């Protein structure tokens, strides 16, 4: 019965339904702040209907892009923003999140396998389409490792949060302490803090405009809707384009198959987290490990990843500790697989970004609505919400133009329904 609502009320319902953490919360927000009495179920119906309309538009834009001949795909559409690409960079970042999806085969006899481990958690996918303001330069604008990456109070919490640097039990788990030092836990309680460093030169060019594409379907589907969105924003006309991701191999398959004309870049912080873990695990004392990290991090910063790989292989050959060997192997594998995408000095000269911080921020904003141990989505119900949530956090404001198109297409007459 959502047809009974006027357009302004529909917009409020959709806004609340995609901003609040649940339909129940949206219903309460509408009653308290807008004095609109809408049940949680009715709020769900409205959000699902509008979300499906946006999904139809997205599918139409993908079909429009796929119908173009190859030369036209390399040109911007007539209505694309007229950017001055000599001072701007077009960037696409990919990342995966987590969401609980109901398994419709759960409990069926043919789906039961003895000892099978089942989980509701599935992967959501998102892409961030960014423009940056940055000009290329003949020299590296920031040749030395920034002080913030030499500061344990800044760097270590970020490395540990990535989950790649937690296996340090043989030498004590690293802690960030109010004393300004970072090392194995000492006697007595400590207060862990995360302190931002003083302002330094920017690692990456200045961000301008962000738009978001997201789905719970396949990565290939995400690549298709991202390509269509990038074309609509005029990205093909950019002289400098970059594709950023972490070390997940599917990212680089998508780069090869869909974004091969973009410069591939592995997230700097993910790379340094493996460097940090290997340095600490291979050192007898934390202070020694931190000095080793600084040497290796400086080499990575300058794009000299091969030197770090050589050091890791030498340490492997002279180490017998199984736990240390395992950490060294993880670091060596990551750096070896991604070395061609870690030419950070070159990227700085080209005015390209170095980190996936923007897509990680996007994932957190998507998770506000989608992720929770108490939330179980069905595949049909989650996709419209993912679409609307991505629209909501896009700075290009796709919902504003959607509501205008929708209003202009309304006839003012309700369709006649026949009873069955």
The answer to whether residues 61 and 105 touch, using CB atoms and an 8 Å cutoff, is: no
3 state SS of 160: helix
Residues linked to residue 176 through DSSP beta bridges, in sequence order: 182
pLDDT higher than 50, residue 166 = no
Confidence of residue 196 (pLDDT cuts 50, 70, 90): very low
Mean local confidence (pLDDT), 206-228: 96
| Cβ atoms of residues 271 and 304 within 8 Å | no
Local confidence band at 282 (pLDDT 50, 70, 90 cut-offs): very high
Q: Take residue 418 and report the two structure tokens written for it.
A: 């026949």
pLDDT level of residue 420 (50, 70, 90 thresholds): very low
pLDDT category, 415, cuts 50, 70, 90?
low
Secondary structure (H, E, C), 340-381: HHCCHHHHHHCCCCCCCHHHHHHHHHHHHHHCCCCCCECHHH
What's the rounded Cα separation, in Å, for the pair 387 and 377?
Answer: 14
Domain around 195: 147-200+268-349
Is position 273 within any domain? Answer: yes
Is residue 174 a part of any domain in this protein?
yes
Q: How confident is the model at residue 143 (pLDDT cuts 50, 70, 90)?
A: very high
In a domain, 279, yes or no: yes
pLDDT digits (tens, 9 = 90+) for 396-405: 999 999 999 9
Q: Is residue 229 part of a domain?
A: no
Instruction: Answer whether residue 368 is part of any domain.
Output: no
Mean pLDDT score, 371-394: 92
In order of 149, 299, 321, 334, 340, the CA distances from 312 in angstroms are 21, 13, 14, 12, 17
Would you say 152 and 182 are in contact if contact means Cβ atoms under 8 Å apart?
Answer: yes
- Burial of residue 384 (CB within 10 Å: 0-12, 13-18, 19+) is buried
Please determine, for residue 181, whether its predicted confidence score (pLDDT) is greater than 50. Answer: no
pLDDT of residue 228: 96
Q: How far apart are CA 173 and CA 175, in angstroms?
A: 6
CB 354 within 8 A of CB 347: yes
* Selection from 265, 270, 269 nearest residue 252 by Cα: 265
Residue 282 lies in a domain: yes
pLDDT score for 113: 56
| pLDDT at residue 164, as a whole number | 58
| Number of separate domains in the chain | 1
The pLDDT of residue 32: 93
Residue 350 has pLDDT above 50, yes or no: yes
Asked if the structure places residue 58 within a domain, the reply is no
Task: Using the predicted structure, report yes or no on whether residue 418 has a pLDDT greater than 60.
Answer: no
Whether 171 shows a pLDDT value over 70: the answer reads no
pLDDT score at 172? 37
Token pair 């099978």 in the structure block, residue: 116
Q: Quick check: is 315 in a domain?
A: yes
* pLDDT digit string, tens, across residues 87-108: 899 999 999 998 998 876 655 5
Percentage above 90 pLDDT, the chain: 68
């Amino acid at each position: 019965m959502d047809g009974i609502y006027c357009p302004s009320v529909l917009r409020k319902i959709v806004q609340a339904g995609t901003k609040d953490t649940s339909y129940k919360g949206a219903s309460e927000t509408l009653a308290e702040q807008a004095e609109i009495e809408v049940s949680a179920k009715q709020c769900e119906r409205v959000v699902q209907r509008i979300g499906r309309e946006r999904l139809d538009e997205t599918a139409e834009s993908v079909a429009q892009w796929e119908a173009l001949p190859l030369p036209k795909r390399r040109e911007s559409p007539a209505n694309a923003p007229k950017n001055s690409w000599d001072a701007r960079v077009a960037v696409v970042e990919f990342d995966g999140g987590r969401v609980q999806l109901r398994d419709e085969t759960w409990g069926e006899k043919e789906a039961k396998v003895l000892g099978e481990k089942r989980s509701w958690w599935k992967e959501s996918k998102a892409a961030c389409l960014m423009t940056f303001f940055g000009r290329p330069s003949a020299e590296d604008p920031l040749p030395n490792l920034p002080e913030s990456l030499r500061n344990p109070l800044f760097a270590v919490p970020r490395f540990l949060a990535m989950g790649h640097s937690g296996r340090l039990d043989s030498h004590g788990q690293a802690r960030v302490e109010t004393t300004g030092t970072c090392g194995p836990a000492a006697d007595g309680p400590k207060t862990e803090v995360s302190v931002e460093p003083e302002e330094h030169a920017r690692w990456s060019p200045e961000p301008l405009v962000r738009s978001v594409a997201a789905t719970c379907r396949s990565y290939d589907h995400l690549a298709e809707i991202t390509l269509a969105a990038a074309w609509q924003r005029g990205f093909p006309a950019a002289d400098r384009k970059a594709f950023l991701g972490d070390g997940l191999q599917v990212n680089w398959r998508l780069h090869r198959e869909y974004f091969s004309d973009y410069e591939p870049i592995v997230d700097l912080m993910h790379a340094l987290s493996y460097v940090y873990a290997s340095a600490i695990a291979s050192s007898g004392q934390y202070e020694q490990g931190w000095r080793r990290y600084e040497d290796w991090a400086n080499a990575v910063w300058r794009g000299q990843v091969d030197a770090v790989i050589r050091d890791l292989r030498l340490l492997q050959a002279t180490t017998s500790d199984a736990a240390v060997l395992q950490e060294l192997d993880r670091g060596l594998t990551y750096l070896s697989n991604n070395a061609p995408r870690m030419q950070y000095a070159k990227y700085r000269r080209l005015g390209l970004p170095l980190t996936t911080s923007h897509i990680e921020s996007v994932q957190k904003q998507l998770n506000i609505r989608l992720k929770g141990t108490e939330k179980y989505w069905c595949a049909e119900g989650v996709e419209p919400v993912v679409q609307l949530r991505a629209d909501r956090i896009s700075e290009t404001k796709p919902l504003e133009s959607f509501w205008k198109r929708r209003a202009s297409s309304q006839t003012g007459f309700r369709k006649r329904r026949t009873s069955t």
